[in-house]
Amino acid sequence: MPRKLNVNFNLSAPWVTYYRKLEALFGKDPDIRIEYDEGEIEVKMYVENAAKADAIAQLLPTEKTFGSVVLKTTVIPANKPTASRAALIATAFEGNPAYSYGMTIDGVSSNSFNYVVFKNEVVQFYNDQLNDINGNVSTLYQDIAKEVLGESEGIYFCTDLPK
């Protein structure tokens, strides 16, 4: 009687294989946590030790091309606060009537949660919209900030509570 083999014929894309190689190489280090972001086609390596993070960042390419697909590799020192970008945003919006306040809350593993809070107002501007009879866009400041400034690890754009 022939033996039945358990064979998995799922094929991985080459960039997924590269991620798995990084995970095999660095994944057992207790100072390193590796994540693959399928939507952004990016590998993020969170490293507890700043010197180790710097060394890895200098050794690994920041981008690796597989045909028409570009895989980004980002090394993020976990003990380096992400508040620097939040501080830049707070400075950029200081005195701006659209900005309400900013807040940083310390989280786990030396990571911070940074909240950028905008006024609770509907923003309306002309943008040649066919779904509005006047061609306007109606949105919130937080949505515009997400789109214009982009999303960053540990930084969240919010809308203030109504008064």
Predicted confidence (pLDDT) at residue 82 exceeds the cutoff of 60: no
- Co-location of 72 and 94 in the same domain: no
- Please report whether residue 20 resides in a domain: yes
Rounded average pLDDT over 37-65: 87
- Co-location of 137 and 110 in the same domain: yes
- Whether the Cβ atoms of residue 98 and residue 118 lie closer than 8 Å to each other: yes
- Please report whether residue 28 resides in a domain: yes
- Co-location of 87 and 142 in the same domain: yes
| Domain boundary, last residue among 54, 77, 100 | 77
- Co-location of 95 and 138 in the same domain: yes
Rounded average pLDDT over 27-51: 87
Q: How far apart are the first and last CA of the chain?
A: 77
- Co-location of 151 and 88 in the same domain: yes
Tally of structural domains, the chain: 2
- Co-location of 70 and 108 in the same domain: no
| Domain boundary, last residue among 77, 96, 114 | 77
Using DSSP, state whether 55 is helix, strand or coil: helix
Distance CA 158, CA 143 (A): 8
- Co-location of 88 and 150 in the same domain: yes
User: What is the per-residue pLDDT across 86-137, written as a single tens digit (0 to 9) for each?
Assistant: 676 776 677 778 889 988 887 766 677 888 898 998 888 777 767 778 777 7
- Please report whether residue 54 resides in a domain: yes
pTM (predicted TM-score): 0.47
- Co-location of 131 and 107 in the same domain: yes
Q: 144: domain range?
A: 83-159
Which residues face 82 on adjacent strands?
A: none
Q: What are phi and psi of 149, to 5 degrees?
A: -90, -15
